[in-house]
């Protein structure tokens, strides 16, 4: 298990204990009095009387409330946490950096994922080989992933 997977598992155990769910939806919030922008983050409040667009924190709101001292940083953390809400063990929706995939006799080791600056379409960059041939640089986009033929195989392609 990777360091990020271990950290995710520990965080989900804590959040399940505190909020009742291992992967709550997050929002920015006003965690400090007197700030003009929401500089904190907190799980979304599910109370019927709490307007989803209200960044205030009330007694009905779940913990933890985390002060970030920066509204752009708070917004970034909310995006990261909400993107990471997929349940543990769920199927990935794209190539993951550090993973090796097999597709019949082909192998692809993903080193990084980037996105097109205009369209946002993701591209995985890494190394490809056929059977035991030499590794060559390669890239795969979301269309290649959507074919559904790649299987994660961290033991199979890296040697």
Upstream peptide bond of 123 is cis (omega within 30 degrees of 0): no
Mark which of 40, 56, 83 sits at the end of a domain: 83
- Average pLDDT estimate for 141-147: 89
| Assigned domain for 106 exists | yes
State yes or no: pLDDT of 141 exceeds 60.
yes
Q: Which residue has the higher pLDDT, 158 or 91?
A: 91
89 belongs to a structural domain:
no
Residue 90 placed within a domain:
no
pLDDT at position 159 is 47
> Residue 120's pLDDT band (boundaries 50, 70, 90)?
confident
Residue 23 near residue 12 (C-beta atoms within 8 A):
yes
Residue 158 lies in a domain: no
- Same domain membership, residue 57 and residue 13: yes
Taking alpha carbons only, the member of 58, 122, 121, 73 closest to residue 96 is 122
Instruction: Decide if 15 is inside a domain.
Output: yes
Residue 155: pLDDT above 60?
A: no
Domain-embedded: residue 40: yes
- Statement to judge: residues 76 and 130 lie in one domain: no
Q: The domain containing residue 60 runs over which residues?
A: 3-83
pLDDT in tens, 103-119: 889 999 999 999 888 88
pLDDT at 156: 45
157 located within any domain: no
**In the chain, how many domains are there?**
2
Give the pLDDT of residue 35.
84
Q: Which residues pair with 152 in a beta bridge?
A: 101
Mean pLDDT of the chain: 85
Range name among 19-23, 50-54, 57-61, 98-102 with the lowest pLDDT average: 19-23
44 Cβ contact partners less than 8 Å away, ≥ 6 residues apart:
24, 25, 26, 27, 52
From 83, 117, 140, the end of a domain falls on 83
CA–CA gap between residue 92 and residue 104 (Å, rounded): 19
1-54 tens-digit pLDDT: 577 778 878 888 888 888 887 788 899 999 877 888 999 999 998 888 888 788
Residue 148 has pLDDT above 90, yes or no: no
- 67 and 113 inside one domain: no
Based on the domain organization, do 66 and 113 belong to the same domain?
no
Q: What pLDDT is attached to residue 46?
A: 87
Q: Is residue 13 a part of any domain in this protein?
A: yes
pTM of this prediction?
A: 0.54
């Amino acid at each position: 298990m990777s360091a990020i997977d271990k950290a995710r598992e520990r965080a989900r155990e804590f959040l399940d204990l505190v909020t009742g769910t291992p992967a709550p939806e997050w929002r920015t919030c006003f965690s400090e009095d007197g700030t003009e922008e929401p500089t904190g983050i907190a799980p979304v409040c599910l109370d019927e009387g709490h307007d989803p667009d209200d960044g205030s924190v009330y007694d009905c709101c779940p913990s933890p409330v985390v002060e970030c001292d920066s509204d752009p940083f708070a917004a970034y953390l909310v995006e990261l946490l909400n993107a990471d809400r997929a349940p543990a063990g769920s199927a990935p929706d794209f190539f993951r950096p550090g993973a090796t995939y097999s597709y019949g006799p082909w192998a692809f080791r993903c080193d990084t994922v980037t996105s097109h600056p205009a369209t946002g379409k993701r591209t995985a960059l890494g190394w490809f080989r056929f059977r035991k041939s030499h590794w060559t640089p390669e890239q795969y986009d979301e269309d290649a992933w959507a074919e559904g033929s790649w299987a994660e195989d961290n033991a199979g392609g890296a040697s």
